[in-house]
Amino acid sequence: MPLSCIVFDCDGVILESVNVKTEAFARVAEPFGADARDRLVAYHMEHGGVSRYKKFEWLFSEVLGREITSDEMDDLGRKYADYAFEGVLNAPMVPGAYDVITAWHGRVPLYVCSGAPHEELVHILTERGLARYFEAIYGSPPGKTDVLRRAVEKAAVPPAEVVMIGDAKTDMTAAEAVGTLFYGRGEAFAATPHPWGQDLTGLNVWLEGVAKA
């Protein structure tokens, strides 16, 4: 089966920015108390790849017991972006990520599908000098499954010839829903049927094997 397209998540796959964003969520929720802060951080870590705005909705409905207003949503979104942006811009790349991107650029189309807001995502990857490697960059909204499906449709290849690389269960379930292959970054995928690695240093070897299968 040929390898016709590779799709990357961003945080935790291209950039080591997961901890930066976890700290930003903690700071956003701090004014609501330690319990709200800790529960939002736990929810964020369990639901990587989900839009920050969905997480704010959850904080208010499940922890604070009321619906969030549009003004509160905008305020939390601005604060979160302020806390996280510089850290993401300066975050190191995941080991092996640059090697994978440059090795496959020009061989197959590369895409980014992330839960981060689209404009922010494009700006960060442009500032990091990485946007030029990708056919398209997709952020939220919509959700991960929809943006992955959009990338596969744009590439105009069978889903079974596409690899999604992610570090969250959201990435894995999106790949399974769309019908692509999946490669996980991190031990969270050790109990799944999918291939995985602690980082991306071994990914090129696996991708070459897929391409030759």
| 18-90 topology per CATH | DNA polymerase; domain 1 (1.10.150)
pTM of the full structure: 0.87
The per-residue pLDDT for 48 is 81
The per-residue pLDDT for 20 is 94
What CATH number should be reported for the domain whose range is 5-16+92-212?
3.40.50.1000
The per-residue pLDDT for 137 is 98
**Residue 96 pLDDT greater than 80, yes or no:** yes
pLDDT band at 1 (very low <50, low <70, confident <90, very high): low
Nearest to 15 by CA among 160, 190, 141, 167: 167
Q: Where along the chain do its domains lie?
A: 5-16+92-212, 18-90
Instruction: List, in sequence order, the alpha helices (H) in the chain.
Output: 18-29, 34-46, 52-58, 70-90, 97-104, 118-127, 144-155, 169-178, 203-212
